[in-house]
């Protein structure tokens, strides 16, 4: 039992270190309710952050245009009617906040892989 607890706390510490660099993006992602439909590794109502990051691999910067409403979706466009109203929640964000949010969404791919 003790071993299990030590193992869990080591995992939690590593996990916290990974996400620490992107606290700001994570905070926005959670406070805007994105987390309800987007889990880290498993597709649920929306595609997982790992799925989104995989679709944007090699063109990471264009996710910023998408989040600003300046680019069409590429992950699952047939379901964009579910996602479109969510984009309205981002209209009041500053550019640096959008950037932090984009970095969080993209980097969650690595977090999922390391877990
Ligand atoms: C009600 C469920 C729901 C919520 C809440 C939600 N999304 Fe989505 N999201 C979806 C669905 C469904 C898709 C797939 C449609 C698509 O790819 O256009 C999607 C797709 C996406 C994509 C991929 C877009 C692409 O290129 O296809 C991103 C990025 C994204 N969401 C970010 C967010 C952010 C940021 C928030 C919080 C402001 C958010 N989502 C809230 C359901 C949701």
> In b/e form, how buried is each residue of 5-21, taking b as 16+ CB within 10 angstroms?
eeeeeeeeeeeeeeeee
Q: How far apart are CA 75 and CA 89, in angstroms?
A: 20
Q: Residue 111: pLDDT above 90?
A: no
Q: Residue 108: pLDDT above 90?
A: no
For the Cβ of 82 lying below 6 angstroms from any atom of ligand 1, the answer is yes
- The reported pLDDT for the residue numbered 22 is 73
CA of residue 43 relative to chain centroid, distance? 12
C-alpha of residue 49 to centroid of ligand 1, in Å: 10
Residues 44-103 have pLDDT tens digits of 999 999 999 999 999 999 999 999 999 999 999 999 999 999 999 999 999 999 999 999
For the Cβ of 47 lying below 6 angstroms from any atom of ligand 1, the answer is yes
For the Cβ of 83 lying below 6 angstroms from any atom of ligand 1, the answer is yes
Cα four-point dihedral sign 83, 87, 65, 115: negative
C-alpha of residue 46 to centroid of ligand 1, in Å: 6
Q: Residue 39: pLDDT above 60?
A: yes
Atom of ligand 1 nearest to the CA of 56: 26
């Amino acid at each position: 039992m003790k071993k299990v607890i030590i193992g869990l706390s080591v995992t939690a510490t590593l996990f916290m270190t990974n996400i620490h660099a992107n606290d700001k993006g994570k905070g926005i992602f959670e406070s805007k309710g994105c987390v309800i439909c987007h889990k880290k590794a498993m597709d649920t109502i929306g595609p997982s952050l790992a799925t989104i990051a995989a679709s944007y691999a090699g063109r990471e910067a264009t996710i910023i245009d998408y989040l600003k409403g300046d680019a069409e979706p590429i992950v699952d466009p047939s379901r964009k009617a579910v996602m479109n109203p969510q984009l309205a929640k981002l209209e009041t964000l500053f550019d640096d906040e959008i950037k932090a949010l984009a970095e969080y969404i993209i980097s969650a791919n690595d977090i999922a892989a390391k877990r």
